[in-house]
Structure 1
Amino acid sequence: MERIIEEIREDLSRRITVAADRLADRTLAEDPAYAALFGRAELRERIRRGLRQSVEGLERGIRGLPVELADARAAGTLLAEQGLPLDSLLRTCRRGGRMVWQTLGEAVAAHDPAALPRLLPAAPVLWDVLDQLTDAVADAYRRTQAARSDRDREHRAALLDALLDGAGPPQGPAARLGLPERGRFAVVVLAASASGGPGGPDGPDGPPEADGLRVLWRIRADGETGLVELGHHPLESVREMLGPLGARAGVSPVVDTPADLAGARRLAALALRAAPAPGGPCTALLDERLPAALVASQAELAGRLRQVVLGPVLALPAEDRRVLLTTLGTWLTCQGSTTYAAQRLYCHRNTVSNRLRRLEQLTGRTLSDPAHVVELALAHAAVLQRVNAPATSSAPQAPPSPPSPPAGPTPAGTARRSPRPPG
């Protein structure tokens, strides 16, 4: 077989050139990806080199020598950098392999038809060579594409950091990320999981997106931050998007320009700090948690608020403290309804009234005074935030407030402004 190839070498080279012309024309006609990248002369030369590599590989294989794969790897790397789809590349490789076998048979038949049976043992050698060349091209392509994806991901992360951290003018990063100069944007901050990793599912693209929302995720060790382009969708759609994640999240208000995103990120982080206690999925929109966010934003004043307003309660034995703070939190959650609070606490309405009256005596505040109710509500929020903070503390702890009361009219006899029963 080696002698036959040597005898037909000149004719085979000419036929390979003709085959490269045919394959180049077919590829340009059927594959827009190639047509967008190459002219006919350049593509024909690339295909001709590939076909010749296959023939040279066959010769080496027949002699028991390893196939030279350096040129195939270089071709795979270059085509990946140029952006040719891998499917297009592999399809052309397969067509080229079939053409090499067909051309080899034609050259042998033209030289000596009686020698054609002697060509058959070369078939498995050629297919093995073609597999090696194709694998080398594909492996180099995938490695290059992975490295390119890493670079693109790092570049996008740097652009997102510039926007979300407010580092420099926002116009350049926003334009490179495809964000409009004006629109409707929000920022989402997810809490880190208990294991210290991001709160959402693993993956290079971050958590899933809702229909119609474009989200750019920035994954860090302490959690994940998402830049949401809302379009015409309401802010509530962000809550629907985050629901399947099962993670605690804070959501900023809507902002109009990329220049406002750094501030929105700070507000989203504040909303997360103001979110209800851990233990279940919760997405906190800042505008729904403003009192708690106000407390969270002023740690020093929150400490004074806890001590000045609820200090006598916090000084009680643990069980007494827990009962009074739970009752206060439930009464606040139930919008000042002693009846609803009693239902939530599984006790009599008079028991709730007695507990709240004792709380009034300890704090010097009355629940019939709106100003005092505001102080107590904020101080209670400060206690909960201290309890729910990640860092441990020796301060007395209180349980989180129960869920919101059921919708419906206030029952007759419910005390809205004061826990005292009517005389």
Structure 2
Amino acid sequence: MERIVEEIREDLARRIAVAADRLAERTLAEDPAYAALLGRAELRERIHHTLRQTVEGLVRSSRGLPPELADARAAGTLRAEQGLPLDSLLRTYRSGGRLLWAALTESVTSHDRAALPRLLAGATTLWDVLDQMTDAVSESYRQAQAARTDRDRERRAVLLDVLLDGAGGAGGAATAGGTAGPDGPAAPEAAARLGLPERGRFAVVVVAADGSGRAAERAGAVAGELRVLWRIRADAEIGLVELGHHPLESVRELLAPLAVRAGVSPLVETPAELARAHRLAALALRTAPESGGPRTALLDEGLPAALVAGHAELAGRLRQVVLGPVLALPVEDRRLLLTTLGTWLACQGSTTSAAQRLYCHRNTVSNRLRRVEQLTGRSLSDPRHVVELALAHAAVVQRAAPR
């Protein structure tokens, strides 16, 4: 094979140049990805170089040497960095291989038709060289693409941290006036880089970590028209939701199939308000029930419980001062009275409805509530006492919930 190539080298070089011209023209006409990336001269030079490298690989293989693949690997890395689809890149390599074979056969036929059987014997070698080159291109492309994806993910995480934690980002301190610290962008700049509008309808959702780390992935599969940017952390999965025209309730509908505990912030209108929304969503999560019924808590639907959750020291005083005598009871008595009180509160003070939920007689509920009144010194007919008991009960429930 080496001897055949040497005999036709000059004529083959001319034919390869023509083949490179033809393939460059056809590629630019048929592949928009290439047309958007490269000009004709650059693409033609790249194709010409690859065809010559393939011929040299054919010669090396005839000597028992492996083809040089450094250029193929470099091409795969470069095109991945530039964002050219791998299919486009491989299609050009395959088309180049076919054109090269045609140039070889035409050149040998023109030079010495009797040498064609010897050329045909080298066909397998040529396709083997092409396979090695395309494998090298694919491998380096995928490695570069993975590295690029990791970098993009890291950059997006940094930008989300700026929005969710304040201008200083995660663990950083925001400077006065909402401007960024010396090492990071301000909220408006971070939002712009993430493609968020200057004004809109935003919310933040905080999903309790369940060990799988896949709530964001599952939510993404059913997000529909909602745009959600997720930030995965060890203790929670945080979603920045761009609601558009959808109501805030749609966030609960999004999370309902996932069976996760979550807290949702109120609506905010600018990216600069997202750090506050994140804090409020985390607070709402602390009020979300552990089981039974909807497990997504919208902050504005549970402000009293959120008030308790936001003040740990006062919550402790509420538990002790208001419900201390109940909490001092044996475990079963304590559980019975607290469950009855919580159910009665959830039923808006209806003893009949509470009895139905608890599967007991109305008088049983009344007796348990009367005992709560006796132990706490507070009357369920006094609105001020009901507020105290409701807040204290919320404090007890939140303390019992696993962090």
Give deviations 1:324-367, integer Å, cap 9, x for gaps: 11111111111111111112222211111111111111111111
**Which residue of the partner structure matches residue 258 of structure 1?**
271
The structural deviation recorded for 1:42 is 1.2
AA aligned to 2:201 is R
| Matches of 1:56 and 1:238, distance apart in 2 | 60
Q: Deviations over 1:44-66 (max 9, x none)?
A: 11000011111111111111111
- CA shift at 1:278, angstroms? 4.5
> Mapping of 1:12-411 within 5 angstroms?
12-167=12-167, 168=180, 169-193=186-210, 195=211, 198=213, 200=215, 207-278=220-291, 282-390=295-403
Runs of 4+ in 1 over 2 A off after TM superposition: 206-209, 277-281
Structure 2 distance, partners of 1:9, 1:151, is 45
Q: In 2, Cα distance between the equivalents of 1:320 and 1:192?
A: 33
Whole-Å separation in 1 of the counterparts to 2:361 and 2:257: 38
Number of the residue aligned with 2:177: none
1:42 and 1:184 map into 2 onto residues whose CA distance is: 46
2:390 is paired with a residue of what secondary structure? helix
Deviation of the 1:321 alpha carbon:
1.1
Contact 1:73–1:140, Cα closer than 8 Å, also in 2: yes
| Counterpart contact for 1:327–1:356, Cα < 8 Å | yes
Q: For structure 1, which runs of at least 5 residues remain unmatched after alignment?
A: 391-423
Q: 1:269 to 1:256 in 2, by over 3 A?
A: same
Q: What displacement does 1:10 show?
A: 0.8
Alpha-carbon shift at residue 318 of structure 1 (Å): 1.4
CA shift digits 1:25-59 (9 cap, x unpaired): 11111111111121111111100001111111111
> What code does the residue aligned with 2:107 have?
A
TM-score (norm 1): 0.89
Shift of 1:223: 1.4
Instruction: Give secondary structure in 1 for the equivalent of 2:221.
Output: coil
CA distance in 2, matches of 1:213, 1:364: 50
SS of 1:120's equivalent in the other structure is helix
User: How far did residue 208 of structure 1 move?
Assistant: 3.4
After superposing the two structures, state which structure 1 stretch, 51-60 or 260-269, moved more.
51-60
Asked if structure 2 preserves the Cα contact closer than 8 Å seen for 1:250 and 1:269, the reply is: yes
For 1:83 and 1:315, locate their aligned partners in 2 and report how far apart those are by CA, in whole Å: 66
* 1:295/1:382 contact within 8 Å kept: yes
Q: Deviations over 1:164-204 (max 9, x none)?
A: 111223111011111111000000101011x4x5361669x
Contact 1:73 1:136 (8 Å CA) reproduced: yes
Provide the C-alpha distance between the structure 1 equivalents of 2:70 and 2:264, rounded to a whole number of angstroms. 52
Distance (whole Å) between structure 2 residues aligned to residue 102 and residue 339 of structure 1: 90
Q: 1:305 to 1:222 in 2, by over 3 A?
A: same
**SS of the residue aligned with 1:8?**
helix
TM-score between both structures, scaled by the size of structure 2: 0.93
Q: Which secondary structure does the structure 2 equivalent of 1:215 belong to? A: strand
| Separation of aligned partners in 2, 1:79 and 1:277 | 50
Alpha-carbon distance between aligned partners in 2 of 1:23 and 1:280, rounded to the nearest angstrom: 63
Structure 1 residues 280, 336: closer, same or farther in 2, change over 3 A? closer
- Shift, 1:277, TM fit: 2.4
Distance in 1, matches of 2:238 and 2:253, equals 17
Q: Distance in 2 between matches of 1:279 and 1:63?
A: 74
The size of the alignment, in residue pairs, is: 386
Q: Secondary structure at the match of 1:179?
A: coil
Give me the whole-angstrom Cα distance separating, in 2, the residues matched to 1:7 and 1:198. 64
Residue identity matched to 1:88:
S
Q: 1:209: Cα distance to partner?
A: 4.9
1:188/1:251 contact within 8 Å kept: yes
Q: Is the 8 A contact 2:216 2:237 kept in 1?
A: no
1:231 counterpart SS class: coil
User: Is the 2:216–2:230 Cα contact (8 Å) retained in structure 1?
Assistant: no
Equivalent residue, structure 2, for 1:396: none
Given residue 283 of structure 1, which amino acid in structure 2 is its aligned partner? T
Shift of 1:210: 1.7
| Seq. identity, % | 76
Please report how far the alpha carbon of residue 279 of structure 1 lies from its aligned counterpart in structure 2 after TM superposition.
6.8
Query: For the residues of structure 2 that align with 1:345 and 1:139, how far apart are their CA atoms?
Result: 63
In structure 2, C-alpha distance between the alignment counterparts of 1:223 and 1:276, rounded to whole Å: 16
| C-alpha deviation, 1:382, in angstroms | 0.6
Unmatched runs of 5 consecutive residues or more in structure 2: 168-179, 181-185
